[in-house]
Amino acid sequence: MTTTTVTRICHSCHLIEIGGRTFLTDPWFSEKPGYHPGEPVAVPVAGLPALDGVLISHHHYDHCDLAAFAAYRDLGVPMFVAGPVAPRARKAGFTDVTALAPWQSAAVGGVTVTAAPAKHGVYEVTFVLSDGTSTVYFAGDTMLIPELRELPAHFGHIDIALLPVNGLRIRPQLNKQVVMNAAEAAELTAVLKPRLAIPHHYAFTSGWLGDRLMTKGDRDPQPYADACARLAPDTDVHIIDPGTPVAL
């Protein structure tokens, strides 16, 4: 029996090993003004293992760094993406790109990749990976929306949930919230009841000026763990440094 393992590279970029297959989520390997991971990038593109699939939730640069990821050795790697990402991925040179709408699925070996609903500042989907034995939910940087409460009805038990927690707000848009916060992520954790939960999307910084003029978010994942201790006490929350694997 294969082990399901998650290794966070940085931000919302993870390596997920499930069913003997390896998937990369929301690639981000570089930085530019206004976009800084705020933590080390654990693995460079050249150091990535052979991938069986890539999942991209939406086209924001910090989740869809196609310019840097195009240095990956296999541009034919299967990519499963939100609709607006597809033409961008093909333009970057990737040749096997499938856009999935919510509840649509594709198969990679014995692993099923299913898109799920999301809500963000731009069109986004989230993803569920299942090998028939274990199931991983990757939430990109969605808000908490009612449709996510349907995940257990569609997939049964969720074993691992990867959830954003920084409650990102856009200051010039009257502090509009575009990512779920720690309390909302804990509320979703209580619904999903995963065995393991890993917070992501919290170390990000827009830089000294950008954090004061453009974005506002909580860079501490501990409030999520504290809220889960109250709302989802049976879930084991792992706050992991980039490069640290967590096995189911």
For residue range 174-228, list pLDDT tens digits in order.
999 999 999 999 999 999 999 999 999 999 999 999 999 999 999 999 999 999 9
Percent of the chain with pLDDT over 90: 99
DSSP state of 146: G
Q: Is the pLDDT of residue 1 over 80?
A: no
Q: What pTM was estimated for this model as a whole?
A: 0.97
SS3 197: strand
Nearest to 194 by CA among 246, 245, 146, 142: 246
Cβ atoms of 39 and 239 closer than 8 Å? no
Q: What is the identity of the amino acid at 59?
A: H
Q: Summarize pLDDT for 168-186 with one digit per residue, the tens.
A: 999 999 999 999 999 999 9
Q: Which two tokens stand for residue 69?
A: 């990821």
Q: Summarize pLDDT for 96-154 with one digit per residue, the tens.
A: 999 999 999 999 999 999 999 999 999 999 999 999 999 999 999 999 999 999 999 99
Mean pLDDT of the chain: 97
CATH topology for 5-239 is Metallo-beta-lactamase; Chain A (3.60.15)
In the chain, where are the structural domains located? 5-239
| Cα torsion 183, 156, 118, 112: sign | positive
Q: Is the pLDDT of residue 2 over 90?
A: no
